[in-house]
Structure 1
Amino acid sequence: MIASARAFWRWLTSMRTALLLLFLLAVAAIPGSLLPQRNLNPERVNQYLRDHPDLGPWLDRLWGFSVYSSPWFSAIYLLLFTSLVGCLLPRLAQHVRALRAVPPDAPKRLDRLPQHASGLAADGAPAAVAEAVAATLRKRRWRVAVREHADGVTVAAEKGYLKETGNLLFHFSLLALLVGVAAGSWYGWEGNRIVVAGPDHGFCSSIPQFDESALGARVGAEDLPPFCLQLDGFDVEYLDSGQPVSFAAHATYTEGLSGAPRQATFSVNDPLRLDGANVYLFGHGYAVIVRYTDRYGVSQTTVAPFLVDDDFLTSHGLAAFPDANIDPTGKAPRSDRAQTAFSCVYLPTVPSDVTLARSAHPAEKNPALMCSAYQGDIGLDTGRAQSVYELDRRQIDSGQLSQVGPETKLAPGESWTLPDGSTMTFLGTRKWAALSVRYDPGQQTVLAGSVVMLAGLLISLTGRRRRAWARVVPDEDGRSLISLGGLPRTEQPSFAVEFSQLVSVIEENHGRTVRPAADVDDPGVRPGNAGVRG
């Protein structure tokens, strides 16, 4: 049992297993991208279950609509985390021991190393010459150890430990990324809301008041920080070509249950930072103001945000009046068939070619609203989820909702009289801004991990581990003879050049003469050659 546990632990903490688990995690995340997720859009999940009555329930049993909180995804995530910890901690301990260890002593035969040189002679005792050589190596950022032997003095030098340091930084940064993503998944939340400018369209941090919301696995609706926000105005500048230059949202907000109102201006790259959340601006458009006066003379006004269709803010939307055409005296029975809605397209700037159903510029230079009127049963009582921007085509196809009158183009202030005597007036527009309110406690960890990961990768790729040795022995003439050797720990063609430069520096600083060819053990050394061979 103990042997099996040890074998499993060795398998789990191997780098091959970590790479396999990382690949499995990427594969396991694919269903979360292909299938609607319940925490992001429960309506789409319900629609998928209705459209796929056979496949949908099976996917639901396998957590296909809650992938990132499923047991199998969490198991892969935890195994990867455990594998990285078990793999990196021993490597870190080994690296610390290697940093504290002294370089190994010089081998007996330096001439057998890939790079070597001999034949240098220097004045002075071997110990003094060796210390001078060691000082030269230290100036070039080599870790040096000097050892005395019966036949001379050796200098051992080592360099390139940053390569393993960068490698460890890279992998520990990956571990930090996992921690940051997990913290954001558990304790983070997000809510999106389209806010129309004006005091009557503000919102507070309540789940029902968000258009879309997603809460972390450890976050409840009561955990959201209390705040309220209203959009006071929205400024945008355009070039003549229609390209936007700048955006600025002006808002009034309060924090806490009894906070004082405060004003703020924020833009795309400069979010509004609240206590426990940030408000980001990621879209804008126009909300159409329509007043409808029904056949009984009762007026209703709606401010309907329109969805943007192109870069020039051609927009489409719906102005619905489900409570219209109800006799205020109560004499005529109420009929759902008298509900009225206007499906419209808004052009901020009508083009010179009126046949083009798109705006010529995103600014309101020549605005117009093109609408089609529908009366009948809008379908609010069917129990089906409906879009607030489009009519339910099933109501139109079934004949319960019919178009009345031709499509009409209206400028701001103009009215349109329907066949039943009711009128619709286009009063103008307001601007709306799409806001994303987010809180991610792991954001700073992920950012720091990403920066350190990049730095560790660069260090790991550019670092080169190598060793060099020098042996200084006494000469018959009272001088000291220096022989050198070098060994790259990793494949690096540039080491030969680096070693030659090192030999030249030592020769320039310490080597004064060269032994004659007859006295040199290495036949590759020639007089005047500075004794370099390799």
Structure 2
Amino acid sequence: MTTTAPPRPAAAPQPPARPSAGARAWGLWLRWWRRLTAMRTAIVLLFLLALASIPGSLLPQRSLNQNAVRQYYADHPSLAPVLDRLWAFDVFGSPWFAAVYLLLFVSLVGCVVPRLAEHVRALRAAPPPAPRRLLRLPDSGELATPLPAPAALDVVEEELRVRRYRVVRRSGRDGSADPAGSSGMELSAEKGRLKETGNLLFHLSLLALLLGLAGGKLWGYEGSILVTEGRGFCNAFQQYDTHSSGALVDSEDLTPLCVDLVDFQATYEEDLTAASFTADITYGGPDDEGVPTTIGVNDPLRLDGDRVYVTGHGYAPRFTVTLPDGTAFTDVSAPFLPDDQATLASQGALKLPDLGAGAEDQLALEGFFAPTGLMQGGVLTSIDPRPLNPQVAILAYEGYLGLDSGLPQSVYSLDASQIERGRLTEVGGANLSVGETLTLPDGTAVTFTGVDQFAALQFSHDPGQVWVLTAAISLLTGLLALLLVRRERVFARAAPSPGGGTVLSVGSLTRGGGESATSFAELTGRLRAALDERSPTPSAPSPGGATPEPEVPPRDR
């Protein structure tokens, strides 16, 4: 007796295995990477970078002018702290600006590098085979010729090579190359690959431009100072009136350079507008003999990566202060900052903390200087920027200036808080011309002895200048190639005609740079003429070798 085993139950279908947490994280990262490196994302980030730069142009920046930031606080006491918390006064050093800048850089790298590798492979590759349905191309047509197929393709190849096309002959639909080059039935040609090269050059130059700007900000520095004739400065942060430096700049990295202002000349047009500012200076190392040169507004001193610019000028009135005991301080001066650029009417202060024996015996002069002074209604004004009639209106203060209080104060004005507290007391005032004297109640004599000119000089060190210039030129070159070069492909296929000869199918694809139909019509016209020129004459020679005389109409006999 045989027994049959019961059938086994069918196995239940197993659910698909879930990807591991690591695979899911990798897939998510890859998806975000593709979004970040898309060209659309790079364009959006570039727009955001331009948008983020707007507050840096509209609001004062601490790195450029701290006094303007303090004035903005005084003018907008409630709004300024809110803007400050948003880094509005230090836009280009803010975390959010750096984040947009870094994302743009990563996006461009991830977008351009793969395209660069692909373009290198495309440059080495042959033009693609002709499409199967060649006559469906936007620009296509047929040319009939009595020439055999190889000879017809020879004509097309010669014409295209004259036009600087890269030409490849192939043996029909299989796309294999024909090394002999004479029996092929297809032809592919292309030119204009510089268009894609220009596109990549544009984006690579943009990357280089971003790197140059970032490097200049990280390793660059600049400082501004007002220098009176006969004086100078050395490249040290503690000597500048205002200065800014990159995050990677150390004081030991500063270029050892000293500049002395020998003479300053300002010339004006007939309508008193400035024509030129030139400064005669000497420059060199701290222990070197100065080298003389002349610089101007658009003609700075250029050294290796360093520039010294003239950014403005003004006047520094000179005074001689004689104490009651006969001690004289001769030709002490301080720059007065212009309030009116048209007439160079200026305001300033001269602080003399060393005149007395104690801190409460200090002297200060604050006033108004007019290069060409004129009294109008009892008020001194200036009518000309040239020093034709220098006059100064001064107020003298005695007391404590607060220079050793540890609190910062401007060197071009007095500390108003010391006057409000009564620690500085007004002791006299007068309008003085050159040679006139103001005598204070304690017998101190203040004489206005003349005026010197000062130049506003700026020292700039930017190691990325050459890099940025090269990148900008390269960027424009790539942009011109991108806009002006046309990418063209031409295909031709020769097939036997039912009535004898060859039917030549020609098609073209063109991207950018003009009307493709006009270019294709010109090409087919040249091909038609070349084919007709190579074609045999319609009359064949007779069997005896003689050519029959052509018939002439009766009226021409």
Q: TM-score, normalised by structure 2?
A: 0.78
Give SS of 2:373's match.
Answer: coil
Q: Does 1:95 align with 2:119?
A: yes
**Number of the residue aligned with 2:42:** 18
Tell me which of 490, 507, 518 is aligned to 1:468: 490
Cα contact 1:38–1:45 (8 A) shared by 2: yes
**Number of the residue aligned with 1:217:** 247
Report the AA paired with residue 207 of structure 2: L
**Number of the residue aligned with 2:293:** 264
Cα contact 1:237–1:246 (8 A) shared by 2: yes
CA distance in 1, matches of 2:164, 2:510: 16
Report the AA paired with residue 111 of structure 1: L
**Number of the residue aligned with 2:552:** none
**Number of the residue aligned with 2:154:** 131
Tell me which of 154, 160, 164 is aligned to 2:186: 154
Cα contact 1:225–1:275 (8 A) shared by 2: no
**Number of the residue aligned with 1:287:** 316
Q: CA deviation at 1:297?
A: 3.7
Give SS of 2:198's match.
Answer: helix
Q: Does 1:236 align with 2:279?
A: no
Q: CA deviation at 1:203?
A: 1.6
The RMSD of aligned alpha carbons is: 3.6
Question: Taking structure 1 as reference, are residues 45 and 350 closer, same or farther at Cα in structure 2, changes over 3 Å only?
Answer: closer
**Number of the residue aligned with 1:505:** 526
Q: Does 1:415 align with 2:446?
A: no
Tell me which of 342, 356, 359 is aligned to 1:311: 342
1:63-462 counterparts in 2 under 5 A? 68-69=92-93, 73-121=97-145, 124-149=147-172, 153-198=185-230, 201-255=231-285, 258-275=287-304, 277-301=306-330, 302-309=332-339, 310-324=341-355, 326=356, 334=358, 336=360, 339-350=362-373, 358-405=381-428, 407-408=430-431, 410-462=432-484
Question: Taking structure 1 as reference, are residues 238 and 51 closer, same or farther at Cα in structure 2, changes over 3 Å only?
Answer: closer
CA distance in 2, matches of 1:50, 1:356: 28
Q: CA deviation at 1:440?
A: 0.9
Question: Taking structure 1 as reference, are residues 352 and 404 closer, same or farther at Cα in structure 2, changes over 3 Å only?
Answer: closer
Deviations 1:72-129 (A, max 9, x none): 54444333322211111111111122222222222344332222232443x6433233
Q: CA deviation at 1:359?
A: 3.4
Question: Taking structure 1 as reference, are residues 444 and 276 closer, same or farther at Cα in structure 2, changes over 3 Å only?
Answer: closer
Report the AA paired with residue 373 of structure 2: V
CA distance in 1, matches of 2:57, 2:517: 51
Cα contact 1:120–1:512 (8 A) shared by 2: no
Query: Larger deviation: 159-168 or 66-75?
Result: 66-75
Report the AA paired with residue 299 of structure 1: A
Report the AA paired with residue 89 of structure 1: V
Higher relative contact order (CA 8 A, sep 6+): 1
Query: Larger deviation: 186-195 or 492-501?
Result: 492-501
Q: CA deviation at 1:250?
A: 1.3
Q: CA deviation at 1:189?
A: 1.3
Q: CA deviation at 1:26?
A: 4.4
Q: CA deviation at 1:209?
A: 0.9
CA distance in 1, matches of 2:353, 2:184: 102
Question: Taking structure 1 as reference, are residues 62 and 114 closer, same or farther at Cα in structure 2, changes over 3 Å only?
Answer: closer
Percent identity of equivalent pairs: 46
Cα contact 1:272–1:278 (8 A) shared by 2: yes
**Number of the residue aligned with 2:555:** none
Cα contact 2:167–2:190 (8 A) shared by 1: yes
Matched residues, number:
500
Question: Taking structure 1 as reference, are residues 355 and 163 closer, same or farther at Cα in structure 2, changes over 3 Å only?
Answer: farther
Report the AA paired with residue 519 of structure 2: E
Q: CA deviation at 1:360?
A: 3.2
Runs (5+) with no aligned partner, structure 2: 1-21, 174-182, 536-557
Question: Taking structure 1 as reference, are residues 431 and 53 closer, same or farther at Cα in structure 2, changes over 3 Å only?
Answer: closer
Question: Taking structure 1 as reference, are residues 53 and 114 closer, same or farther at Cα in structure 2, changes over 3 Å only?
Answer: closer
Q: CA deviation at 1:41?
A: 6.0
CA distance in 2, matches of 1:355, 1:511: 100
Report the AA paired with residue 268 of structure 2: Y
Q: CA deviation at 1:354?
A: 7.7
Q: CA deviation at 1:38?
A: 6.0
CA distance in 2, matches of 1:89, 1:42: 42
Q: CA deviation at 1:351?
A: 5.7
Deviations 1:119-150 (A, max 9, x none): 443x6433233222222222223332222339
Deviations 1:46-76 (A, max 9, x none): 9999999999999888877765455554444
CA distance in 2, matches of 1:217, 1:372: 43
Cα contact 2:61–2:90 (8 A) shared by 1: yes
Structure number with larger C-alpha Rg? 2
Cα contact 1:120–1:511 (8 A) shared by 2: no
Question: Taking structure 1 as reference, are residues 41 and 221 closer, same or farther at Cα in structure 2, changes over 3 Å only?
Answer: farther
Question: Taking structure 1 as reference, are residues 351 and 43 closer, same or farther at Cα in structure 2, changes over 3 Å only?
Answer: closer
Question: Taking structure 1 as reference, are residues 315 and 457 closer, same or farther at Cα in structure 2, changes over 3 Å only?
Answer: same
Question: Taking structure 1 as reference, are residues 104 and 382 closer, same or farther at Cα in structure 2, changes over 3 Å only?
Answer: same
Cα contact 1:473–1:480 (8 A) shared by 2: yes
Give SS of 1:511's match.
Answer: helix
Runs (5+) with no aligned partner, structure 1: 328-333, 515-534
